Chain A
Amino acid sequence: MTKRDIIQKTGFTLLAMCMAANIVFLGMIVFFIASRGLPAISWEFLTQAPRNAMTQGGVAPAIVGTLYLTLGAVLVALPLGVACAIYLTEYSPKGWIVNLIRISVNNLAGVPSVVFGLFGLAIFVKKAGFGVSMLSGSLTLGILALPVIISASQEALIAVPQSIREASLALGATRWETIRRVVLPAALPGILTGVILSVGRVAGETAPILFTAAAFYVKGYPKSVLSEVMALPYHIYALMTEGTHPEIQTQIAYGSSLILLALVLSVSMLAIYIRQRYRRGYNA
């Protein structure tokens, strides 16, 4: 083995170790959360509200609250995001408009999540007068999810072959008819991937809902879009920083973390699965 070969071998080993670190990180997080969270999980934990100052009962209202908030955010982000992607790919506007929108999308994606929270606080909670509510939280989270949905939808639309559009236009369909009947159905799996990815992102976000939607404890389930909600990620935070029974609360936080982690990871794995299937189908 020459010196060159030894250097190459060492270099490649180092790279493999870097890659392995990712697996170790993921494994460590899943292992610790799952092994200590599982004992906390029971049917009661999943289906009941907290009792006795958070020391007993379950986290059902927080699970439900997270689902509502996520659904609301998708309802906000999906139409806006898909419309934006359609405009960029199908109506092919001038170069500077595309650049301007792309730069805004990229920058919006890079805005720290707590800044979204402040924006939501100033605009939705105070100015619009929605108060600390599910509505304010969903709107804030919706803006945060927008860039994810735009990027995924745009990618999906670009992947639709130009020839399909031309065929439709040649048959006399208008541009909108082509988009609605031909392009969108073909791009649907890709757009769906984007939606699922954004669900995973939104469900785990805490900072944007700190001042816009979340409460440590709300009696019963949310009654209207204007009521405060409990949410899993905020619940974990609150359990670790508030309250008077740190030992028991940490146990419940482990359980809540496991539920959140399972939710988010299965959602993102679903997105990856759909995308891979879709890509394969496309090449064949």
Chain B
Amino acid sequence: MIKRNKEKGIEWLFTALAFSSLVFLTGIVIVLVKEALPIFSTVSLPAFLGGKSWYPTAEPPEFGIFPLIMASFWVSAGAMLICVPLGVGSALYLHELAGERQRAVLKPVIEVLASVPSIIYGFFGMVILAPFLQQRFNLPIGLCVLSTSIVLGMMATPTVASIAEDALGYVPRSFREASFALGANRWETLTKVIIPAAGSGISTAVILGMSRAIGETMTVLMVAGGAAVVPSSIFDPVRPMTAAIAAEMGEAPVGSDHYHALFAVALALFLVTFAFNIIAELISRRYRLKLGLSR
């Protein structure tokens, strides 16, 4: 009897602890909403999202985050141009062309690259890449949309590569065999059978890569240049949302409008990445069902 109670107790304990992620996620949402709401008694939502000037410490302060949103958008879009082809290409290479021995080396390379801390990428961008671009393109400042996109693209490449490689692994062998039997060569099989079959899995990889790029903080904080203006060229310095939060939160007095405005920026950021993650989740579920996989 005691043994049975103990078993029951342990099961309850595990059940309770298992929900910790949900609790933390909910907690994050509650904190962000609660700390963000007060700003909307000062600024209306449309003025907050669409306002073109972000001068949180001016007198009177202006809280328009449109330049920050555009900055995040442009640097992430630029990063996508780099990490999608490179990431998907590496996944295809790993899956189709690399033999056992190559894979044993290349997969760890991708994993190790993915584990390089963002501060290192930021430092690299700041001391190596930015001066290089500045010299090469004769710029007044090397910290700009272009340098940020390049560094973010480098960072997101291994993420895209490993998720896309997983997706390719789900494509049943029989698809490939059927294609070969019909006389297609390897490249035709790859582009006309395997890639379409893994299409939604690959798009999941792209979405998660995008999510990673938008949420990246230290790199953009160090490399983006920090000017809160809507960029007009790829050589303009910008201040993406994450950089604004990280750079300004330290100086914003707790409970001030600025403090609440930064929480509202974080809420907007959270909602975007949350939406991306949910979309990725939905796509991958449908995809697995389509290929007849249970999980």
CB atoms of B242 and A114 under 8 A apart: yes
Q: Kindly state the separation between the CA atoms of A179 and B92 in the bound complex, as whole angstroms.
A: 39
Is A16 close to B, CB under 8 A? yes
- In the complex with contacts A26-B112, A115-B270, A176-B6, A237-B122 CB distance below 8 A: yes
- Contact residues of B between 181 and 199, Cβ < 8 Å to A: 185-188, 190-191
B1 to chain A, nearest CB (A): 13
- In the complex with contacts A11-B190, A111-B273, A176-B7, A240-B222 CB distance below 8 A: yes
Give B113-130 as 1s and 0s: 1 = Cβ < 8 Å from A's Cβ atoms.
101111111111011100
Is B106 close to A, CB under 8 A? yes
- In the complex with contacts A15-B93, A22-B161, A93-B15, A112-B214 CB distance below 8 A: yes
CB atoms of B24 and A146 under 8 A apart: yes
- Taking CB atoms, residues of chain B closer than 8 Å to A32 are 124, 128
| Residue in A16, A33, A269 whose CB lies within 8 Å of B97 | A16
Is A53 close to B, CB under 8 A? no
- Taking CB atoms, residues of chain B closer than 8 Å to A146 are 20-21, 24
Is A268 close to B, CB under 8 A? yes
| Residue in A19, A86, A119, A257 whose CB lies within 8 Å of B27 | A119
Given contacts A207-B242, A237-B122, 6 further A-B contacts (CB under 8 A): A16-B97, A83-B18, A110-B277, A113-B215, A197-B115, A205-B117
| Residue in B87, B124, B266 whose CB lies within 8 Å of A29 | B124
| Residue in B18, B90, B185, B221 whose CB lies within 8 Å of A101 | B18
- Contact residues of A between 82 and 109, Cβ < 8 Å to B: 83-84, 86-88, 90-91, 93, 100-101, 103-108
Q: Kindly state the separation between the CA atoms of A114 and B212 in the bound complex, as whole angstroms.
A: 12
B264 to chain A, nearest CB (A): 11
CB atoms of A12 and B119 under 8 A apart: no
Q: Kindly state the separation between the CA atoms of A269 and B113 in the bound complex, as whole angstroms.
A: 11
- Taking CB atoms, residues of chain B closer than 8 Å to A236 are 119-120, 123
CB atoms of B20 and A111 under 8 A apart: no
Is A264 close to B, CB under 8 A? yes
Is B10 close to A, CB under 8 A? yes
Give the residue name and chain of the A residue nearest to B284 (CB).
A106
Give A228-266 as 1s and 0s: 1 = Cβ < 8 Å from B's Cβ atoms.
000001001100110000000010011001001100110
Q: Kindly state the separation between the CA atoms of A47 and B187 in the bound complex, as whole angstroms.
A: 56
Q: Kindly state the separation between the CA atoms of A161 and B245 in the bound complex, as whole angstroms.
A: 47
- Taking CB atoms, residues of chain A closer than 8 Å to B10 are 176
Is A21 close to B, CB under 8 A? yes
CB atoms of B117 and A115 under 8 A apart: no
| Residue in B87, B122, B185, B215 whose CB lies within 8 Å of A5 | B185
- In the complex with contacts A29-B120, A210-B246, A14-B89 CB distance below 8 A: yes
Pick out which of these stretches binds chain B: A120-128, A183-191, A218-226.
A120-128
Q: Kindly state the separation between the CA atoms of A118 and B263 in the bound complex, as whole angstroms.
A: 8
CB atoms of B85 and A18 under 8 A apart: yes
Give the residue name and chain of the B residue nearest to A180 (CB).
B10
Q: Kindly state the separation between the CA atoms of A2 and B115 in the bound complex, as whole angstroms.
A: 43
Q: Tally chain B residues at the interface, Cβ within 8 Å.
A: 91
Q: Kindly state the separation between the CA atoms of A110 and B111 in the bound complex, as whole angstroms.
A: 18
- Taking CB atoms, residues of chain A closer than 8 Å to B19 are 101
CB atoms of B14 and A123 under 8 A apart: no
15 A-B contacts (beta carbon < 8 Å): A15-B93, A18-B93, A90-B14, A101-B18, A103-B278, A107-B25, A107-B278, A110-B215, A118-B31, A175-B11, A207-B246, A210-B249, A237-B218, A253-B127, A257-B123
Is B32 close to A, CB under 8 A? yes
- Taking CB atoms, residues of chain B closer than 8 Å to A240 are 123, 126-127, 222
Most buried by A among B17, B104, B216: B17
Q: Kindly state the separation between the CA atoms of A25 and B187 in the bound complex, as whole angstroms.
A: 27
- Taking CB atoms, residues of chain B closer than 8 Å to A276 are 104
CB atoms of A12 and B97 under 8 A apart: yes
Give the residue name and chain of the A residue nearest to B124 (CB).
A29
| Residue in A14, A19, A87, A260 whose CB lies within 8 Å of B117 | A260
- In the complex with contacts A84-B20, A146-B21, A33-B117 CB distance below 8 A: no
- 7 closest Cβ contacts across the A-B interface? A204-B117, A18-B89, A112-B215, A8-B187, A83-B17, A87-B18, A268-B115
CB atoms of B109 and A23 under 8 A apart: yes
Is B281 close to A, CB under 8 A? yes
CB atoms of B28 and A21 under 8 A apart: no
CB atoms of A211 and B18 under 8 A apart: no
CB atoms of B187 and A11 under 8 A apart: yes
- In the complex with contacts A32-B124, A176-B10, A260-B120, A272-B112 CB distance below 8 A: yes
Is A39 close to B, CB under 8 A? no
CB atoms of B90 and A122 under 8 A apart: no
CB atoms of A84 and B216 under 8 A apart: no
CB atoms of A26 and B109 under 8 A apart: yes
- In the complex with contacts A22-B157, A257-B120, A265-B116, A114-B18 CB distance below 8 A: no
- In the complex with contacts A107-B277, A118-B245, A126-B254, A80-B218 CB distance below 8 A: no
